[in-house]
């Protein structure tokens, strides 16, 4: 039997779909799963692609059935299972083999694994894959952390299986070590902010305009034809229109209001803080998911502080809808500006020199946050590869200036009507803060010097370590 071009370990939904995608592109795949039943079930369901797979029932069999040098993709849950698989496989691997972790791994783990395995004859690659189950099957966006040599060897397969934007493959080398997983983490952080802001605007439309889900589905579909065009807006319209078969109600009316999370959003927020480049929209989105999960406490507090009906609404319905569209545009720009700032800072901190333009380019198709706006971001980096902030790109600045008044109107109304809008508010505050020539931080510096002699700089003199003539009680 001819040997396989590549191996794949882990035939869960993502692994199985990725294997089918690789086979569809003409590469033979040796597949191995923790349970033999999982492997058999996969082969039985492989249909016309069946002959493109070599089912393997042990690690030895897997390794023996791949052409050397062997690329092997691990699609197993992030964390300990990745380390377990590496330790099982590593004794069987030879010179030039490439072990590719394609799960949603913490990039710190990928940094560690890359360094730990640097002394072995084979290479470790940490690879972020976005696009959910559908993307894995028909073309994901792929963010690779690898040495240039290892990337060069797997690039043809990755280009073949990735999503395409105007025929350009949505895959690129982000840098060595955990660079690929770092970029994937921030992708997910932005995904959290995008999703939260969409949910908030839905609530504003419901509370201030009493719009039913069906009507909102139509509004979102319409938005999907404009500057907000994106996968998340598109699926929100679809989700809003679906009716639950059991109750006959819109499905969103019967879905419990507690959001799950696996960690990548939180990792983004934590990393942003560690880098000193807070991403407040992402932060707020993570916090909102946590608060949604405190369902029992929310019921009790709601009893004590009942909501009153909306006291303010839009004079003209269409004006409210348009303001919501602009609020989402402004919120999205702020979240992406923050997200890209964290990417740039993380790249610098880790010595990776992340390709910012490529990141925007490979996110234009295949991934969950794919959107028309990413075309504008890619263009902004084409025009200026050293762009300090997305806010400074002329075309984005024009869009932001046009959209911000809508965000202000939406927030004025939502705050007056007690509609929680944490991510949209954070986005506006972050924007309002970054465009201030003089922030209120001089008060904090005064306080710090008063109680702890921490010193401050002055606006009228060079130097640092000045102290105030504080009255008694001051330091
Ligand atoms: C993607 C998704 C994918 C996954 C999220 C869900 O890019 O394909 O982001 O990675 O669906 O990680 O994450 P939560 O469970 O944390 O929402």
> Residue 26: CB partners within 8 Å, gap ≥ 6?
160
Rounded distance from Cα 145 to ligand 1 centre (Å): 19
pLDDT of residue 119: 85
Ligand 1 atom closest to the CA of 132, numbered from 1: 8
Whether 468 has a pLDDT exceeding 90, the answer reads: yes
Whether omega before 69 lies within 30 degrees of 0, making that bond cis, reads yes
Whether 127 has a pLDDT exceeding 70, the answer reads: yes
Whether 401 has a pLDDT exceeding 80, the answer reads: yes
pLDDT-based confidence at 120, cuts 50/70/90? confident
Catalytic (active site) residue 184: yes
Whether 1 has a pLDDT exceeding 90, the answer reads: no
Ligand 1 atom closest to the CA of 104, numbered from 1: 10
How confident is the model over 58-72, as a mean pLDDT? 96
Q: What backbone torsions phi and psi does residue 358 show, to the nearest 5 degrees?
A: -65, -35
Which pTM value belongs to this model?
Answer: 0.96
Take atom 3 of ligand 1 and give the residue whose Cα is closest.
Answer: 132
Ligand 1 atom closest to the CA of 263, numbered from 1: 16
Take atom 4 of ligand 1 and give the residue whose Cα is closest.
Answer: 132
Take atom 10 of ligand 1 and give the residue whose Cα is closest.
Answer: 130
Rounded distance from Cα 188 to ligand 1 centre (Å): 6
C-alpha span between 317 and 119 (Å, rounded): 65
Take atom 1 of ligand 1 and give the residue whose Cα is closest.
Answer: 130
Q: Which residues line ligand 1 (CB under 6 A)?
A: 104, 130-132, 187-188, 191, 260-262, 264-265, 367-368
Take atom 7 of ligand 1 and give the residue whose Cα is closest.
Answer: 130
Torsion of CA 360, 363, 364, 369, to 10 degrees: -120
Ligand 1 atom closest to the CA of 369, numbered from 1: 7
The closest of 72, 62, 53, 52 to 153, measured between CA atoms, is: 72
pLDDT digits (tens, 9 = 90+) for 169-211: 999 999 999 999 999 999 999 999 999 999 999 999 999 999 9
Rounded distance from Cα 264 to ligand 1 centre (Å): 8
Ligand 1 atom closest to the CA of 289, numbered from 1: 17
Determine the distance from the C-alpha atom of residue 60 to the mean position of all C-alpha atoms in its chain, rounded to a whole number.
36
Rounded distance from Cα 459 to ligand 1 centre (Å): 46
Rounded distance from Cα 113 to ligand 1 centre (Å): 22
Whether 400 has a pLDDT exceeding 70, the answer reads: yes
pLDDT of residue 12: 96
pLDDT digits (tens, 9 = 90+) for 75-117: 999 999 999 999 999 889 989 999 999 999 999 999 999 999 9
pLDDT-based confidence at 224, cuts 50/70/90? very high
pLDDT-based confidence at 473, cuts 50/70/90? confident
Which one of the listed residues 37, 50, 61, 184 is annotated catalytic? 184
Whether 475 has a pLDDT exceeding 70, the answer reads: no
Rounded distance from Cα 42 to ligand 1 centre (Å): 23
Take atom 9 of ligand 1 and give the residue whose Cα is closest.
Answer: 188
pLDDT above 90 as % of the chain: 95
Look at 118 and 435; give whichever has higher pLDDT.
Answer: 435
Question: Which residue among 21, 129, 263, 264 has the greatest number of ligand 1 atoms within 8 angstroms of its CB, and so is best to mutate?
Answer: 264
Take atom 5 of ligand 1 and give the residue whose Cα is closest.
Answer: 188
Whether 474 has a pLDDT exceeding 80, the answer reads: no
Q: Is 437 helix (H, G, I), strand (E, B) or coil?
A: coil
Rounded distance from Cα 74 to ligand 1 centre (Å): 17
Provide DSSP, 17-84: HHHHHHHHTT--EEEE-SSHHHHHHHHHTTGGGGGGEEEESSHHHHHHTBPSSPEEEE-S-SSHHHHH
Question: Which residue among 188, 193, 199, 290 has the greatest number of ligand 1 atoms within 8 angstroms of its CB, and so is best to mutate?
Answer: 188
pLDDT of residue 313: 87
Which one of the listed residues 191, 200, 325, 376 is annotated catalytic? 191
Ligand 1 atom closest to the CA of 184, numbered from 1: 7
Rounded distance from Cα 55 to ligand 1 centre (Å): 28
Please write down the HEC assignment for all residues of 189-253: HHHHHHHHHHHHHHHHHHHHHCCCHHHHHHHHHHHCCCCCCEHHHHHHHHHHHCECCCCCCEHHH
pLDDT of residue 238: 98
pLDDT of residue 121: 87
What integer best gives the mean pLDDT of the chain?
A: 96
Catalytic (active site) residue 90: no
Rounded distance from Cα 76 to ligand 1 centre (Å): 14
Please report, for residues 233, 237, 375, 461, the alpha-carbon distance to residue 225 in angstroms, rounded to integers and kept in the order given.
Answer: 10, 12, 15, 54
How confident is the model over 443-472, as a mean pLDDT? 96
How confident is the model over 375-381, as a mean pLDDT? 97
Ligand 1 atom closest to the CA of 261, numbered from 1: 16
Q: Are strands 29-32 and 53-56 parallel, antiparallel or unpaired?
A: parallel
């Amino acid at each position: 039997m001819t040997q396989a071009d590549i191996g794949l370990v882990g035939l869960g939904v993502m692994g199985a779909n990725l294997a089918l995608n690789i086979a569809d592109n003409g590469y033979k795949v040796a597949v191995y799963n923790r349970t033999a039943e999982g492997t058999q079930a996969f082969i039985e369901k492989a249909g016309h692609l069946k002959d493109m797979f070599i089912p393997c029932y042990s690690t030895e069999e897997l390794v023996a059935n791949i052409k050397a040098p062997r690329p092997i993709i691990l699609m197993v849950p992030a964390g300990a299972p990745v380390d377990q698989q590496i330790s099982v496989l590593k004794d069987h691997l030879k010179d030039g083999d490439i072990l590719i972790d394609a799960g949603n791994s913490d990039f710190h783990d990928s940094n560690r694994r890359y360094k730990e395995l640097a002394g072995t004859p084979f290479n470790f690659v940490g690879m972020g894959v976005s696009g959910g189950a559908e993307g894995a099957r028909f073309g994901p966006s792929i963010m690779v952390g690898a040495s240039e040599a290892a990337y060069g060897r797997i690039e043809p397969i990755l280009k073949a299986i990735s999503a395409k934007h105007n025929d350009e493959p949505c895959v690129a080398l982000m840098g060595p070590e955990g660079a690929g997983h770092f970029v994937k983490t921030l992708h997910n952080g932005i995904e959290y902010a995008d999703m939260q802001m969409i949910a908030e605007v839905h609530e504003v439309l419901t509370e201030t305009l009493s719009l039913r889900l069906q009507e909102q589905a139509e509004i979102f579909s319409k938005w999907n034809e404009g500057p907000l065009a994106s996968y998340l807006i598109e699926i929100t319209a679809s989700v809003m229109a679906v009716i639950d078969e059991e109750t006959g109600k819109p499905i969103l009316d019967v879905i419990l209001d507690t959001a799950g999370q696996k960690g990548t959003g939180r990792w983004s927020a934590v990393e942003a803080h560690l880098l000193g480049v807070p991403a407040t929209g992402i932060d707020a989105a993570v916090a909102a998911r946590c608060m949604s999960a405190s369902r029992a406490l929310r019921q009790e507090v709601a009893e004590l502080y009942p909501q009153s009906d909306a006291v303010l609404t839009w004079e003209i319905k269409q004006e409210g809808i348009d303001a919501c569209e602009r609020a989402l545009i402004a919120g999205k720009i702020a979240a992406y500006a923050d997200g890209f700032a964290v990417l740039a800072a993380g790249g610098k901190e880790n010595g990776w020199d992340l390709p910012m333009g490529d990141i925007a380019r490979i996110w234009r198709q295949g991934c969950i946050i794919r959107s028309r706006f990413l075309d504008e971001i890619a263009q902004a980096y084409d025009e200026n590869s050293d762009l300090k902030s997305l806010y400074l790109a002329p075309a984005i600045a024009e869009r932001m200036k046009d959209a911000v008044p809508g965000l202000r109107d939406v927030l004025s109304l939502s705050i007056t009507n007690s509609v929680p809008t944490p991510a949209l508010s954070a986005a506006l505050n972050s924007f309002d803060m970054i465009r201030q020539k003089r922030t209120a931080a001089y008060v904090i510096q005064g306080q710090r010097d008063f109680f702890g002699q921490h010193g401050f700089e002055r606006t009228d003199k060079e130097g640092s370590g000045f102290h105030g003539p504080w009255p008694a009680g001051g330091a």
